[in-house]
Structures are given as C-alpha cells and as structure tokens.
Amino acid sequence: MSTPFDTHLPLAQTRWARLLAFLLFLALVSCLGACTTAPEAKPPVKLALGQVDRGVVIWLPDNVLFDFGSHTLSPEADVHLREVARLAMDKTQAQLSLEGHTDNVGSEAFNQTLSARRAEAVAAALKRLGVPEARLRTLGLGLSQPIAPNDSDIGRRLNRRVEIVVLNETVAHLTEGEPANRFEDAFARLKAELGERIEAQGFR
C-alpha cells in the first residue's frame, strides 16, 4: 500500500515520462537539422564550354558517351545529355549543330560513318529529352578535324568526341544565373590534359 511518503511513480506514469522525453529529443534534433545551412549541392555534371566564332561549343569526349568503336550511347551519357537538353530548352532557342569526330585509327570511310552515327545518336537522345527536332542538325566529320596530335593515346582519346555547337550563342548568355560549378572552360581543360600541343584547326 502506498503511503504519503512514497515517491515512486506508478509504472504507467514512468512510461509516459520516458515517451515525452523521447519526443522532445526528436523535436530538438529536427530543429537543429532545419537550422543548419545545407552545403552547396554538387552539380549533376560539369560541362566543358568554349566560345568560338560560330557560337558556343559543348565538348563531350567519346569516353563519356560511347564505348570504343561504338555508336551506342553508354549509361554514363545520360547525365551529360540531360544537362545539355536543360540548357538548350531553358537558356536559348538557338539551333544546335551536333558534330561527330574520330581519331585516325581505321579507314577514312569507317571513321566518317562512325562519326555520323554518333552525332545521330546524340541527336536522338536530345530529342527524347525534349529538344525539338527542328533545332537539331547532325554532321559527321570523321578524322578531318583533330584537336590534338594522333600520335599518343591521350591525343587520340581527345580527338574521339562529339561537339555540340550552339549556333550564334555566347557563353555569357548560356551561363547567366547558373551556379559557377556547373561549367568549365573547354580550352583550359584541353591545355591541362595536353599542354600546348593542341591543333589550331580544332574547335572552329
């Protein structure tokens, strides 16, 4: 029997006290999480852009888009092409010239066909992502416009690429209001990889 001097709480009251303490703890943790400033989100991909006479070139190396010798888009290509499609639809109404390039391994005819099919594969993907077909044109340039010497593995890798030229556009306009970490300078990236051995005829 309880007495006036018994200080022990009944079992039910003890359980309710513990539950209340736990709920207060959860509320405190939630408040601290909400008050903490979230770090800057990492971009889905960083696109390499360069200003050229014809407009803005978006450089997509083939090892991002295709397996060696193939014109079937790789799974890794999706995130790059989604970002290109977003820019094309949100930031400009310009025409896009999709231009495939190869190294000098294989015959000229093989490389010409491969470069054209790769440009067409990129165009088909951008169309599926919402870019109007009327704004897309494709061109296979084969091995005719290298941006690096074909005498090394790295040079050949850099030459195997698809360039998306946003015609009559500027880098300043495309990147206006965009987070700085979404883009990099295509020419600076090339120089970092190859030094000064970049062919003058590339990126026209």
Q: What is the pLDDT of residues 174-188, one digit of tens each?
A: 999 999 889 999 888
Six-digit token string for 40: 């800057």
* pLDDT band for position 198 (cuts 50, 70, 90): low
Please report the pLDDT score of residue 64 as a whole number: 77
Please give the pLDDT value at position 42.
53
For residue 8, the model assigns a pLDDT of 52
Closest alpha carbon to 124 in 77, 175, 57: 77
Q: Which residues pair with 57 in a beta bridge?
A: 50, 165
Are the beta carbons of 73 and 98 closer than 8 angstroms? no
Give the per-residue pLDDT at 172: 96
- The helix (run of H) or strand (run of E) holding residue 85 is helix 77-90
pLDDT surpasses 90 at 32: no
What mean pLDDT is predicted for residues 144-171? 91
Mean pLDDT score across all residues of the chain: 82
Show the tokens assigned to 169. 């556009």
For the cut 70, the answer to whether the pLDDT of residue 13 exceeds it is no
Angle formed by the axes of helices 77-90 and 108-128, nearest 10°: 60
**Residue 171: pLDDT band with limits 50, 70, 90:** very high
**In which band, very low, low, confident or very high, does the pLDDT at 40 lie, cut at 50, 70 and 90?**
very low
